[in-house]
């Protein structure tokens, strides 16, 4: 059993490592080292917490830790990069559900302590947490109740919201925004009723109030995320990441665990900041994101004139051979086809031929923030040619060829031209301003978000149909 001094020192060390990890993730070159900071920090946190003072039942805890570690290692090896967004959403749901269970357990232990006090019984048989509760004054127990309510409510919203986000990302739930009759009034009513139940609970009502609060919060999480369209799912994942952090912080206060408080606050604040940045990138209102109030159309979409014109690999290769400047815009289709290595080889051959090749990355490309950057780094694409939207958007007008790989909304001119579009006002990559645009796409469908794209019908656009990996592979042998 380790002393409290060791545990406190370990908590400070782990917190510093987590901060270094978050800071390093902002830079591609430092990201690998930053991940190791996080791994070591979590290992320190788990070890010193598990063997700290007041912890017991190792006969149960250690097997659970081993089982969890084995499952985690198995999932990490099995999950492809294309499935990473839904994996993140699933992990968020675990955090939320854990917060609910811990909060319920904390209240049951609180009631046990109060019952023992009423009977003037001893505390020798109490759990470590109940013994801690037994030392609290009445006003401190009131704060504990507030923490329990927050843990239940935030955790429950995070759980069902993350489950629906997982379903939408995995294609198991329709990506279109859907709400029950009454819309946001249902969410507001459930939130108001949760507040009323919280007041009753704080004034001595039974455990049933926490059960009802959890049920209402489960509904809110479900209905919020169901009301958000697939095009906005990257922001949703980031937002749920923030929710899971605040749920963890609330439980940290409940358990008097400083490390959990710090870690939860780091996750919650970083997720909120990232959500805000992404909302700015999509021209969305941050409050509307939190309330699930966006993602639907504002009226009838503008009619699209023209037709989609297909082109074969020979035509695309000929244009690339004649071009001096090329910009590649990757999207989730590249991830699905696992085409990043083929794209990297295409870039190598084009650059060897003396052509300027760069990548244009939209802040919400793919279904997870930074998804495209990770894929390109995995394929060893040089960092210096991977540019953000703001860095490259003005260069499209002077670019010979743009290759769009599996992207739809982030290159959709309707965001600027059609006020009734579901993505109206969203900043996009202005690929249509280039001389020629080739779109690698599996078919003529509208894609994940269900939004039609006028880019596909423009005179300077040609559709390069087929699996992205096979399509890029077919170009390699034809590049001079």
- List active site positions: 409
The answer to whether 89 touches 235, Cβ cutoff 8 Å, is no
Question: Which two structure tokens, joined as six digits, stand for 476?
Answer: 């390699």
Of the candidates 164, 176, 126, the residue with the CA atom closest to the CA atom of residue 295:
176
> Which strand ranges, in their side-by-side order, compose the sheet holding 356-361?
386-388, 356-361, 325-330, 401-405, 436-441, 461-465
Parallel, antiparallel, or unpaired: how do β-strands 436-441 and 401-405 relate? parallel
Beta partners for 356? 325
Which element (helix H / strand E) includes 209?
helix 208-226
Between CA 200 and CA 146 the distance in angstroms is 12
DSSP string of 264-287, one letter each residue: HHHHHHHHHHHHHHHHHHTT--HH
Burial label for 340, CB within 10 Å (0-12, 13-18, 19+), is buried
Between CA 387 and CA 462 the distance in angstroms is 24
Is the torsion defined by CA of 329, 333, 336, 337 positive or negative? negative
Question: Which two structure tokens, joined as six digits, stand for 364?
Answer: 């919400």
The answer to whether 345 touches 364, Cβ cutoff 8 Å, is no
Between CA 60 and CA 56 the distance in angstroms is 9
Question: What totals of helices (H) and strands (E) does the chain contain, helices first?
Answer: 18, 6
Between CA 25 and CA 70 the distance in angstroms is 26
3-state SS assignment for residue 444:
coil
The answer to whether 207 touches 155, Cβ cutoff 8 Å, is no
CA distances from 394 to 155, 409, 434 (A): 43, 19, 10
């Amino acid at each position: 059993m380790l002393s409290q001094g060791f545990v406190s020192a370990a908590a400070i060390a782990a917190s510093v490592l987590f901060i270094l990890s978050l800071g390093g993730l902002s830079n591609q070159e430092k990201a690998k080292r930053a991940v190791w900071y996080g791994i070591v920090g979590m290992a320190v946190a788990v070890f010193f917490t598990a063997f700290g003072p007041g912890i017991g039942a190792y006969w149960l805890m250690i097997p659970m830790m081993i089982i969890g570690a084995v499952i985690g290692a198995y999932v990490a090896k099995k999950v492809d990069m294309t499935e990473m967004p839904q994996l993140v959403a699933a992990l968020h749901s675990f955090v939320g559900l854990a917060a609910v269970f811990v909060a319920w357990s904390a209240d049951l232990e609180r009631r046990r302590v109060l019952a023992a006090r009423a009977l003037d019984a001893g505390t020798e048989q109490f759990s470590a947490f109940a013994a801690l509760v037994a030392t609290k004054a009445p006003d401190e127990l009131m704060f504990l109740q507030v923490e329990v309510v927050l843990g239940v409510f935030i955790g429950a919203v995070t759980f069902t919201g993350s489950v629906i986000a997982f379903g939408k990302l995995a294609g198991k739930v329709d990506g279109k925004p859907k709400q029950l009759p009454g819309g946001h009034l249902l969410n507001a009513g459930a939130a108001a009723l949760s507040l009323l139940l919280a007041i009753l609970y704080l004034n001595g009502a039974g455990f049933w109030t926490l059960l009802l609060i959890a049920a209402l919060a489960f509904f809110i999480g479900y209905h919020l995320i169901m009301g958000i369209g697939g095009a906005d799912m990257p922001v949703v994942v980031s937002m749920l990441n923030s929710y899971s952090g605040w749920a963890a912080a609330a439980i940290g206060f409940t358990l008097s665990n400083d490390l959990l408080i710090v870690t939860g606050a780091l996750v919650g604040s970083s997720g909120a900041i990232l959500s805000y940045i992404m909302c700015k990138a999509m021209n969305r209102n941050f409050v509307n994101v939190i309330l699930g109030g966006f993602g639907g159309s504002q009226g009838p979409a503008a009619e699209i004139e023209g037709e989609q014109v297909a082109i074969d690999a020979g035509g695309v290769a000929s244009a690339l051979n004649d071009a001096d400047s090329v910009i590649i815009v990757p999207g989730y289709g590249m991830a699905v086809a696992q085409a990043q290595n083929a794209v990297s080889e295409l870039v190598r051959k084009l650059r060897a031929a003396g052509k300027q090749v760069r990548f244009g990355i939209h802040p919400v490309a793919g279904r997870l923030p930074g998804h495209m950057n990770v894929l390109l780094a995995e394929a060893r694409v040089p960092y210096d040619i991977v540019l953000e939207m703001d860095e490259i958007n003005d260069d499209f007008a002077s670019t010979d060829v743009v290759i769009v790989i599996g992207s739809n909304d982030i290159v959709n001119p309707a965001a600027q031209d059609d006020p009734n579009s579901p993505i109206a006002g969203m900043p996009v990559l202005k690929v249509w301003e280039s001389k020629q645009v080739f779109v690698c796409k599996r078919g003529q469908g509208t894609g994940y978000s269900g939004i039609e794209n006028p880019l596909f019908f423009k005179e300077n656009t040609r559709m390069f149909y087929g699996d992205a990996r096979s399509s890029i592979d077919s170009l390699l042998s034809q590049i001079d």
